[in-house]
Amino acid sequence: MRRLQTSLHRLVRAHHTSSRMQHQASELRTPVCAVGDEAALRLARQCLLGGQVIALPTDTVYGLACDANNETAIQRLYEIKGRDEHKPVAICVHNIKALRRFGQAAHLSDELLTRLLPGPLTIVIERTAQLSNRFLNPSTSKIGIRIPDFNFMRDLCAVWQEQPLALTSANRSSAPSSLQVSEFRSLWPQLGAVFDAGRIGLTEERRLASTVIDLSTPGYFEIVRAGVALKPTLSLMDEFGIRARKML
């Protein structure tokens, strides 16, 4: 009996050791690249072309990103996130011109948009036909658009031929957002690459992520999520005479 118990304990230890080694090996297969590395943008673009999901820093929290017009990549993004497919994700673009390409923003002046962006803000408007992915926010005709004030993100959007990147926070759904890559280590094995900028933000307030504002109705706004930029955003709405449709 004692020999049998000893054999069982060895088998259990061997299983745990094997599982730990497999997890570590899987992590090692996922490249972790500093955003300042000269190969970073090339690696990120290569991953996106291959339909992979990557993790990268933004001006608020770390995010998960993929090609917004790749149906397989979007489904993979939702799978990694553990997110209900009917809960929308945003897209990230390089500049105001690209925002107008993918969102119906004729009623929003360049002056307003350039005062709002780039920055920690997501603008929700009706999408255009340029967003052709049927799996991207299938429950709504609207799309949230970001232009993060973070050089690596904007440079990536530029080398990505000004195509949109789907973007959501780098954490499992309902879990806290991440300010450093170690906080979402469990997701690494499912990613094409992780791009590290160290800790982003010095305060826990950064975890609130971007302010989300619906500007789809001309002359009106609706705050969807308060986020980190609520006060300056409300100030600009008042300055430009845009009225609240519904407050939080």
- CA 95, CA 114: separation in Å to the nearest integer? 9
When pLDDT is cut at 50, 70 and 90, the band that residue 3 belongs to is low
- CA 199, CA 220: separation in Å to the nearest integer? 36
Report all structural domains of the chain as residue ranges with CATH numbers, in order of start.
32-244 (3.90.870.10)
Residues 131-164: pLDDT tens digits? 989 999 999 999 999 999 999 999 999 888 778 9
CA distances from 206 to 39, 63, 92, 101, 179 (A): 28, 13, 18, 29, 8
Residues 73-92: pLDDT tens digits? 999 999 999 988 888 999 99
DSSP assignment of 115-182 equals: HH-SSSEEEEEEB-TT---TTSSTT-SEEEEE--S-HHHHHHHHHTTT--EEEEESS-TTSPP-SSGG
What pLDDT is recorded for position 28? 55
Q: Which of 177, 178, 123 is nearest to 146 (CA)?
A: 123
Report the chain's mean pLDDT, rounded to a whole number.
Answer: 88
Residues 174-229: pLDDT tens digits? 899 999 999 999 999 999 999 999 999 877 787 888 999 999 999 999 999 999 99
3-state helix, strand, coil in the chain (%, to 5): 40, 20, 40
What pLDDT is recorded for position 130? 94
- CA 76, CA 44: separation in Å to the nearest integer? 16
Assess contact for 205 and 224: CB atoms under 8 A: no
